[in-house]
Amino acid sequence: MESFTPLTAVIGGSLIGLATAVLWLGNGRIAGISGIFGQLLPPAQTVVWRLVFLVAMVGSTFVVAKLFPQVGMGGSVPAALVEAPDGWGIATPVWLVIAGLLTGIGTKIGNGCTSGHGVCGLARLSRRSLVAVLVFFGVAMVTVAVTGVV
């Protein structure tokens, strides 16, 4: 976290807000990634816009990481996936699969994800989203304290 720069945070946050507004105004949909992804299997009638949105999101992130590697982690360290904590004896791919599964289960139980609740729900002043975001951040803080991974 020692590489925080307000400018990149403002630009990134603005782009996320703009993308959310464009999707809502243009398609009438909330930019909740778990909901968008979750409706791909089994395919819903609205599969095309979901695929376009997800491919554009992942693709643009990849392109920006390649074009501006210094923005990723600050300085000369390029963006990279987090490694599993040392001493836990879990390989990084297994660690990522476990994290992904826990995230998926949590989004199903919580009826949404950080993007749906945090960006869209809070903007709509949803109390349910406020509670969800507080729980997300609380669990994240405990996870960082337990694993030591930032």
Place of tokens 């816009």: 49
- Determine the Cα–Cα distance for residues 68 and 16; give it in Å rounded to an integer: 18
The alpha carbon of 34 is separated from its chain's Cα centroid by a whole number of angstroms, namely 9
Question: What pLDDT is recorded for position 76?
Answer: 62
Question: What pLDDT is recorded for position 130?
Answer: 94
Q: What is the CB-side half-sphere exposure of residue 67 using CA atoms within 13 A?
A: 6
- Determine the Cα–Cα distance for residues 14 and 12; give it in Å rounded to an integer: 5
Place of tokens 């000369």: 76
Q: Model's pTM, two decimal places?
A: 0.72
CB atoms within 10 A of CB 86: 8
Kindly state the tokens that stand for 53. Answer: 């949105």
C-alpha angle 147-129-36 in degrees, rounded to nearest 5 = 85
Q: Are 66 and 59 in contact (CB under 8 A)?
A: no
Question: What pLDDT is recorded for position 144?
Answer: 85
**CA distances in angstroms from 39 to 30, 46, 48, 67, 130, listed in the order given:** 13, 8, 11, 32, 24
**Residues of the chain scoring pLDDT < 70:** 1-4, 70-80, 149-150
- Determine the Cα–Cα distance for residues 55 and 109; give it in Å rounded to an integer: 25
